[in-house]
Amino acid sequence: MSREVIILTMAFIVAATAIAPVLDVVVSPPLNNTDSLMSQTIDLLAKCLHSQAQRCPTPGTEEETHCSGNFTPVGHSCLLIGKGEIVTWAEARSFCQGHESDLVVFKDANHYAATLDLIRQTYGANEKINLWIGGSDEAQEGRWVWHTGELMQRGQPFWGSICGIGVENRERCAEPSGGRGENCAGLFHRDNHYVHDFACDINISIGANFNPICEKTAIPKCY
């Protein structure tokens, strides 16, 4: 091996050793001979190239995200519908938290629409089920916030426009319309799962069956 090659190899070692901590590459102990030096250099360069080649895309599509457990990728997040879990709003949050998640928060209209698609896939078109989401005005009447502390967007395309449970003639209401008696947000099946306000512990005896929709952050799928 020529002197120039040895010098070049040593330069590779110095450079690769300097960047190894950044790339989380383990560097072997000092080397004893020239052949071993060359072998270690090639191995080290291969590891560096592999590290640089691995990319984790920004979550945004179902193909690019991975969800643990029984959660389903929906846009930028993972959702789990607690089908069969008839619960109050507080019980719905507890159910989600037991699955390392919380009630769903709609960050935009696309996320809301994708969630509606999942509801239809889960229940079919004719299931008369309502679903709890993560909004409330319990702390301050009329100030609707998500459990994250963010303000809920009001009006279209989220909130409904027909009156809620107990009003049978489908008269029109601008939701939320329940005042101090209704402080928890849910998706009302009779209004195509638009957002409505409901009593947080609404009685299931009047046909108000509520399941939870849980959400947690998607894991970027790296390649």
Span of 21-29, 46-54, 131-139, 210-218 interacting with Ca ion by CB under 5 A: 131-139
Is residue 40 part of the contact set for Ca ion (CB under 5 A)?
no
* Among 52-60, 75-83, 135-143, 209-217, the segment contacting Ca ion (CB under 5 A): 135-143
Nearer residue to Ca ion within complex by CB, 115 or 183: 183
| Shortest spacing between CB 106 and Ca ion, in angstroms | 18
Judged by phi (left if over 0) then psi (alpha if -120 to 50, else beta), residue 193 lies in left
- 136 scored as a contact of Ca ion (CB under 5 A): no
What is the three-class DSSP state of 24? Answer: coil
Coil vs helix vs strand at 195: strand
What whole-number distance in Å separates Cα of residue 20 and Cα of residue 26?
7
Our finding on whether 183 is near Ca ion (CB under 5 A) is yes
Nearer to Ca ion, 152 or 214 (CB): 152
Nearest CA among 198, 199, 202 for reference residue 187: 198
Choice from 89, 96, 132, 137 touching Ca ion (CB under 5 A)? 137
Beta-bridge partner residues of 162:
172
Helix (H) or strand (E) holding 120: helix 109-123
Contact positions toward Ca ion, by CB under 5 A?
137, 183
